[in-house]
A and B are shown apart, each in its own frame.
Chain A
Amino acid sequence: MAVIFDQARLAPLKNTVAVVGVGETDYGSDYRGAGGKAVAKGEARYDSYTLASRALKRALDDAGLKKDDIDGLCVANLSSERASELWGMNPRWSGGGDAAQSIIDATMAINSGLCTTVALVYGNAQRSMDTAYGGSRVTGGGITSYFYYAPWGLTSQGALYALLFQRHKLLYGTTEEQLGAIPVAFRKHACMNPNAVMQKPLTIDDYLNARYVAEPLRLFDYCLINDGGVAIILRRADMAKDCRHPPVMVSGFGWSEQNVDATQLRPRLKDFYHTAHHDVAAQVYPMAGVTQKDIDVFATYDSFSVHLLASLEGFGFCKEGEGGAFVQNGRIEVGGELPCNTSGGMLSESYMQSWNHQPELVRQLRGGLGQRQVQGAEVAQYVHDVAGKCKSIIYTKGG
Chain B
Amino acid sequence: MATPRPIRFMDPYAEQFWAHTQNREFRMQQCSECGKFRWPPGPTCDQCLSDEFDWTLMAGRGKVLSWTTFHRSYFPEYPAPHTVMVLELNEGPLFVAYPVRMVPEDLREGLELSLSWTDGQDEFGEYNLPVFGPLAE
Q: B-contacting residues of A (Cβ < 8 Å)?
A: 134-136, 139, 142-143, 147-156, 159, 162-164, 166-167, 170-171, 211-217, 260-261, 263-266, 269-270
Contacts and interface: CB of A to CB of B under 8 A. Distances in A.
A265 B6 contact: no
Contacts of A154: 68, 84, 96
Nearest to A167: B66
A143 B70 contact: no
Interface string B46-87: 100000000000000000011111111011111000101010
Contact of A151 (B5, B39, B66, B109): B5
A159 B68 contact: yes
Contacts of B72: 213-214
Given A142-B9, A143-B11, A153-B78, 13 more contacts: A136-B75, A139-B7, A151-B5, A153-B70, A153-B75, A154-B68, A154-B96, A214-B68, A264-B93, A264-B94, A264-B95, A266-B94, A269-B65
A151 B70 CA distance: 15
Contacts of A261: 46, 94
A163 B74 contact: no
Contact of A152 (B46, B65, B76, B97): B97
B9 A159 contact: no
B91 interface: no
Interface in B22-61: 39-40, 42, 46
Contacts of B15: none
A216 B104 CA distance: 13
B9 to A, nearest CB: 5
Contact of A153 (B8, B40, B98, B109): B98
Given A134-B74, A148-B40, A265 B68 contact: no
Contact of B77 (A148, A149, A153, A260): A153
A163 B94 contact: no
Contact of A135 (B71, B75, B109): B75
A212 B69 contact: yes
8 nearest A-B residue pairs (beta carbon): A153-B78, A150-B6, A135-B74, A162-B68, A215-B69, A264-B94, A170-B109, A167-B66
A153 B82 contact: yes
Given A170-B109, A269-B94, A151 B8 contact: yes
B113 interface: no
Contact of B129 (A142, A152, A211, A213): A152
Nearest to B70: A214
Contacts of A148: 9, 40
B32 to A, nearest CB: 20
Contacts of B134: none
28 contacts: A135-B75, A136-B75, A136-B76, A142-B9, A143-B40, A151-B5, A151-B8, A151-B129, A152-B98, A152-B129, A153-B77, A154-B68, A154-B96, A155-B6, A155-B74, A156-B74, A159-B70, A163-B86, A166-B67, A166-B68, A212-B71, A214-B72, A261-B94, A263-B39, A263-B40, A264-B40, A265-B94, A265-B96
Nearest to B47: A260
Contacts of B93: 264
Most B CB contacts (10 A, CB to CB) among A139, A143, A151, A270 go to A151
B36 to A, nearest CB: 11
B67 to A, nearest CB: 6
A57 B22 CA distance: 59
Given A143-B40, A153-B6, A155-B74, A214 B65 contact: no
A211 to B, nearest CB: 6
B14 to A, nearest CB: 9
B6 A136 contact: yes
